[in-house]
Amino acid sequence: MPLSAPLRVGFDYTRSLGPVLGHFMTELRARRVVGVRGSDGRVHVPPVEYDPVTAAPLSEFVEVAAEGTVVTWSWMPKPLAGQPFDRPFAWAMVRLDGADTPLLHAVDVADPSAMSIGMRVRIRWAADPIGGITDIACFEPATNPLPTTYPQFAEPSTTPTRPSPQPAGADRLARGRPPGEGGGRAGDVTMVTTPIHLDVVHSVSPEESKYLRALAHGKLLGQRCPKCHKVYIPPRGACPVDGVPTTDEVELPDVGTVTTFCVVNVPFLGQRIKPPYVAAYVLLDGADIAFLHLVLGCAADEVRMGMRVRAVWKPAEDWGTTLENIDHFAPTGEPDAPYETYEGHL
């Protein structure tokens, strides 16, 4: 079985919104939804920066209702991490009253039988709006009893195109700002943070799995190309030059030569080795390709091209299927390898 292990890649992306989406988020924070009017008169919600017909920049904001109609929907029986609910819910395209395009969001209902095309839904606002799409916590059926914490919904909108009544909680934020005015004012929302995390299962080839299992026993296992006779470690399964399968296994010693290197002095996000450290290409004796590893055991400024190094292994009880079993390489004390012996590996 090829080896595999989880790989998690994530970052909290910082999005600058620009004038149109910035105004949309600023208004959401004030519990209002605005769209933008396009060249053909359609009101786009969420607003688009550039007209889908003419590509011209758009700036005529239009406030729409907090209530609308489900255009289409699907059921989410097993929600994923980061979704609006950890219980089953519906995703729906909701066309808010006054808008001509639908908005994708969650609808909080217990059962798919509660969903239908054409049903009326209204926004349930988040308790603490921050200026993001999650200020709309979700939609709920418009026939539900109104939550007492939101007095602005005491008289639900009946005219489809009429803007929703001013939410009481928004007075402080919105005071003195005429509807439809946007962008760039002090206190406006200009950025949103978007956490994005990818969970991947990283699998390696059968050949690399053999090499990794050998590492777990303290052995360095490469493969030789039957055509060019070059020895690859880690093995590739196929020679990158000749394209033929590589099957001949070669055990390599844990001694080699530093071909070239750099000294990493710069700290950065996600770094796992404390700088400064020497990242060096180590060409094991008998191998035809170098790999990157760490060189310790002497001052960084004493590391040289051609320096002979030997693997310093972690204690055997800590070994796993990883090149990290070699803690680092350290100088052997032998004379440096002649330049000609590694010149072809630079």
Partner 1 sequence: MKQPAAVLGVGQTHHRAKRLDVSMAGLCREAIDRAMADANVDWDGIDAVVVGKAPDLFEGVMMPELFLADALGAVGKPLLRVHTAGSVGGSTANVAVSLIHSGVHRRVLAVAFEKQSESNAMWALSIAPPFSMPVGAGAGGYFAPHVRSYIRRSGAPEHIGSLVAVKDRHNGARNPYAHLRQPDITLESVRASTMLWDPIRYDETCPSSDGACAIVLGDSSAAHRDSAWIQATAMRTEPTTFAGRDQVNPRAGREAAHALWREAGITDPLQEIDAAEIYVPFSWFEPMWLENLGFAAVGQGWKLTESGATAMDGQLPVNASGGVLSSNPIGASGMLRFAEAALQVMGRAGDHQVDGVRRALGHAYGGGSQYFSMWVVGSEKP
CB-nearer residue toward partner 1: 13 or 83:
13
The distance of closest approach from Cβ of residue 229 to partner 1 in the complex, given in angstroms and rounded to an integer, is 10
Within 10 Å of residue 322's Cβ, how many Cβ atoms? 13
Nearest to 23 by CA among 184, 232, 248: 184
26 in Cβ contact with 189 (< 8 Å): yes
Per DSSP, the three-state class of 300 is helix
The distance of closest approach from Cβ of residue 113 to partner 1 in the complex, given in angstroms and rounded to an integer, is 34
76: CB partners within 8 A, 6+ apart: 83, 88, 89, 90, 91, 106
The distance of closest approach from Cβ of residue 1 to partner 1 in the complex, given in angstroms and rounded to an integer, is 14
DSSP 107-171: E--SSGGG--TT-EEEEEE-SS--SSGGGEEEEEETTSPPPTT-GGGSS---STTSPPPPPGGGH
CB-nearer residue toward partner 1: 117 or 191:
191
CB-nearer residue toward partner 1: 8 or 172:
8
The distance of closest approach from Cβ of residue 179 to partner 1 in the complex, given in angstroms and rounded to an integer, is 22
CB-nearer residue toward partner 1: 144 or 260:
260
CB-nearer residue toward partner 1: 16 or 148:
16
- Where is 209: in which H helix or E strand? helix 206-215
Neighbouring-strand partners of residue 74: 91
- Per the document, the length of the chain is 346
The distance of closest approach from Cβ of residue 266 to partner 1 in the complex, given in angstroms and rounded to an integer, is 5
